[in-house]
Amino acid sequence: MKAERAYDYIAGYTVLNDVSYRDFEMVEQFPDLARRYGKNWTQGKGLDNACPMGPFLVMKDEVGEP
C-alpha cells in the first residue's frame, strides 16, 4: 500500500477519549522500577471504561478530506 492511497482505506470517523488512571500507573512501593522502566500502563489503561468511543460513526463521504 502506498501512503498516498491511505484515505482509500478509511471507512469513517468517530470520537475516542484515551483515558489514563494515573493513580494506578504509579507503583509507589517500587519507585526505582518506575524510574528504570516507566509507569505501568497496563494498570492505568486496561480498565473498563478507560477508552470511551463513539457512539456515532460519520462516514468518510460525509466529512470529505479532513
Q: In the chain, how many domains are there?
A: 1
User: Domain residues for 15?
Assistant: 3-60
pLDDT for the residue 48: 82
Q: 36 in a domain, yes or no?
A: yes
38 Ramachandran zone, left/alpha/beta (phi>0; psi -120 to 50): left
Q: 66 in a domain, yes or no?
A: no
Better pLDDT: 2 or 28: 2
Q: Over the stretch 19-65, which tens digit does the pLDDT of each residue have?
A: 877 777 766 666 665 565 566 667 777 778 888 999 999 999 998 77
Q: 65 in a domain, yes or no?
A: no
Q: 22 in a domain, yes or no?
A: yes
Q: 13 in a domain, yes or no?
A: yes
| Predicted model pTM | 0.56
Q: 41 in a domain, yes or no?
A: yes
